[in-house]
């Protein structure tokens, strides 16, 4: 079973109530149709066929053309989240700033106790906490905020190995201060989510074997 939503919700609610009104990021949706459930089961079957996502594991599927992430778990309807992948397209080469394709696992969950909007540098939390009014900041540098899920490639020669290694390239799922760009390619290789959504995905996967398939195909869940 997927956990009830239990992130740092009280702090998020307080901070949003005590700051000027902002435009929300694209909301996450639950897709509970028979067709969506069937498609989710096919994705999970693909993972199982590779020896991945055993038991209570989780699967994340990122569609580059749709700029969506699907969170899949056994016996639960799919959850869909808006993302931003690289504005330079897909690719695995070191220093390319592109988003790698293929199968990955989440190797590290970082920042579980961080405040919403807290900034990270080299995966270490800083004292800087951006309020929700600054989560849509076109004139500020690209921040890594709130939570980090660090990906490691599983396919030798595609996203694992010298010069193309996803983990060595520091490819994460993370929160962003550029939520206004979600739904379109905008990152430097990582997979950005809204700060609210990255907390949910983090909480639903932390403690479970979690795999991530990044694909150029549509999700087929709607």
pLDDT tens-digit series, residues 88-125: 999 999 999 999 999 999 999 999 999 999 999 999 99
What predicted TM-score, i.e. pTM, was given to this entire model?
0.88
Domains of the chain: 27-215 (2.40.440.10)
pLDDT, greater one: 56 or 220: 220
Q: Is the pLDDT of residue 6 over 80?
A: no
In angstroms, rounded to a whole number, what is the distance separating the alpha carbons of residues 190 and 201? Answer: 15
Q: What CA–CA distance (Å, rounded) separates 209 from 219? A: 21
| pLDDT score of 24 | 54
Name which of 131, 175, 137 is nearest 19 in CA terms. 131
DSSP string over 33-98: SHHHHHHHHHHHHHHHHTT-S-TT-EEEEEETTTTEEEEE-TTS--EEEE-B-BTT-B---TTS-P
Q: What is the pLDDT of residues 33-62, one digit of tens each?
A: 999 999 999 999 999 999 886 677 999 999
């Amino acid at each position: 079973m997927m956990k009830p939503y239990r992130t740092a919700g009280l702090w998020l609610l307080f901070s949003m109530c005590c700051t000027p009104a902002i435009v929300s990021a694209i909301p996450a949706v639950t897709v509970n149709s028979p067709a969506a459930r069937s498609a989710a089961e096919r994705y999970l079957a693909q993972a199982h066929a590779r020896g991945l996502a055993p038991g209570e594991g989780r699967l994340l599927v990122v569609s580059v053309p749709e700029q969506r992430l699907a969170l899949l778990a056994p016996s639960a309807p799919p959850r869909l989240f808006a993302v931003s992948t690289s504005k330079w397209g897909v690719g695995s080469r070191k220093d390319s700033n592109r988003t790698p394709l293929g199968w990955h696992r989440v190797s590290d969950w970082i920042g579980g106790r961080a405040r919403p909007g807290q900034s990270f540098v080299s995966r270490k939390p800083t004292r800087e906490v951006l309020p929700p009014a600054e989560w849509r900041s076109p004139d500020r540098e690209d921040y890594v905020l709130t939570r980090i899920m660090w990906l490691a490639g599983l396919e030798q020669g595609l996203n694992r190995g010298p010069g193309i290694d996803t983990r060595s390239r520091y490819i994460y799922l993370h929160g962003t201060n550029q939520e206004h760009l979600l739904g379109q390619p905008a990152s430097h290789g990582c997979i950005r989510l809204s700060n609210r959504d990255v907390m949910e995905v983090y909480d639903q996967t932390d403690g479970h074997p979690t795999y991530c398939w990044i694909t150029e195909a549509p999700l087929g869940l709607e």
